[in-house]
Chains A and B, each alone.
Chain A
């Protein structure tokens, strides 16, 4: 399977703390993307990192990619209660197909 696998499955932190989520995948990729999903809603794209990039920032988000280890991490700094959601990584192959993992469920306590 090409699916990404997120770790941990669930994460509970206090507001203001940083949250780190990890993703591992199995095959070569063109890019890796992170998405967020509020309960019962659709997924929303957060950030994309290409296979030739090692790190990318967007606001309070920092993504790293290590293609030699086939892994990525998503760091959310200074978390807020509104960051409570599920976070998914997705890999894209050469044929317009995206593969997702089971997600990390983040709970940020006020």
Chain B
């Protein structure tokens, strides 16, 4: 138990669906992250939020839309996805100041796009 909770753990959706992934942390962290993990590829940094402000969008397609309403919650809204978007989506958090420690990861949301 890392203190970072992701829901749902598994999601199957069609290419025309709209769904959302949710991440929640009560560790008092101010930085939150979305990573994509595909088989045999490095973890891809997607988005970074620091004190609710987006500080990184790593050229992510617009069919992925993040939302950070407060420092404890992070969402990833999904719409008109492609089969190649099937992956494990990992949320992480840490204290907001650089070089202050490690990332705390959730268990991930396994997404399958049909």
Task: Check if A44 sits within 8 Å of B96, measured CB to CB.
Answer: no
Number of A-B contacts (CB under 8 A): 69
Residues of A within 8 A of B35 (CB): 100
Known: A40-B88, A41-B107, A42-B108. A30 touches B43 (CB 8 A): no
Flag whether A73 is at the interface (Cβ < 8 A): no
B56 partner, pick from A45, A48, A95, A102, beta carbons under 8 A: A95
Residues of A within 8 A of B31 (CB): 96
Flag whether B2 is at the interface (Cβ < 8 A): yes
| Centre residue among B31, B96, B105 by max chain A CB count within 10 A | B105
Known: A42-B108, A45-B103, A45-B104. A101 touches B42 (CB 8 A): yes
Contact indicator per residue, chain B 25-49, by CB within 8 Å of chain A (1) or not (0): 0000001010100001111010010
- Complex Cα–Cα for A18 and B89 (A): 32
Task: Check if A33 sits within 8 Å of B106, measured CB to CB.
Answer: no
What are the 6 tightest A-B residue pairs by CB atom distance, in nearest-first order?
Answer: A42-B105, A45-B102, A100-B43, A30-B99, A43-B105, A42-B107
Q: List 12 A-B contacts (CB under 8 A).
A: A35-B102, A42-B2, A44-B2, A45-B102, A45-B103, A48-B101, A95-B55, A97-B45, A98-B45, A98-B92, A98-B103, A100-B35
